[in-house]
């Protein structure tokens, strides 16, 4: 039972990050290359390693040369940053005249609110 709890606790931040990234996924690569991207290089690495290691906190923190405690702190701050800056991303989509993307993001955001 202890092993199951440890695995669940280790995956939990990964699931929260995936949820926070959902609105960004449609134009993610374009946005990362744009001047509108508000993520630091370290934050981009955190996301990249988490996907590469499928949410494994131990491997990801080792690759970044951080303690697991520091890594989880960075991850928590990153999730808040992504959740709190969705309007910045939406503004970028408007500026790039990608109205279809804006519509999809709004659908994701409104669908999420209805379910909760």
pLDDT tens string 76-100: 999 999 999 999 888 888 787 655 6
Rounded to an integer, what distance in angstroms lies between the CA atom of residue 37 and that of residue 82?
11
Tally of CA atoms within 13 A in the half-sphere of 59 that contains its CB: 12
pLDDT at position 11: 53
Residue 24 to residue 10: CA distance in whole angstroms: 23
pLDDT at 5: 46
Give the separation between CA 1 and CA 106, rounded to whole angstroms: 40
**Percent of the chain at pLDDT above 70?**
79
pLDDT at 113 over 80: no
C-alpha span between 43 and 106 (Å, rounded) = 24
Q: What is the pLDDT of residue 112?
A: 58
Task: Give the pLDDT confidence of 32-71 residue by residue, as tens digits.
Answer: 998 889 999 999 999 998 888 888 888 889 999 999 899 9
The whole-angstrom distance between residue 109's C-alpha and the CA centroid of its chain comes to 15
Report how far residue 1's alpha carbon sits from residue 24's, in angstroms, rounded to the nearest whole number: 36
In whole angstroms, what is the distance from residue 8 CA to residue 32 CA? Answer: 30
């Amino acid at each position: 039972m202890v092993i199951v709890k440890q695995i669940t606790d280790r995956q939990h931040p990964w699931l929260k990050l995936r949820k926070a990234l959902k609105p960004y996924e449609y134009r993610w690569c374009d946005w990362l290359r744009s001047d509108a991207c508000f993520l630091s290089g370290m934050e981009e690495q955190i996301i990249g390693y988490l996907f590469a290691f499928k949410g494994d906190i131990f491997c990801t923190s080792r690759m970044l040369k951080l303690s697991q405690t520091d890594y989880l702190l960075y991850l928590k701050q990153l999730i808040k940053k992504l959740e709190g800056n969705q309007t910045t991303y939406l503004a970028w989509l408007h500026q790039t005249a990608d109205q279809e993307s804006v519509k999809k993001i709004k659908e994701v955001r409104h669908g999420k609110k209805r379910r909760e």
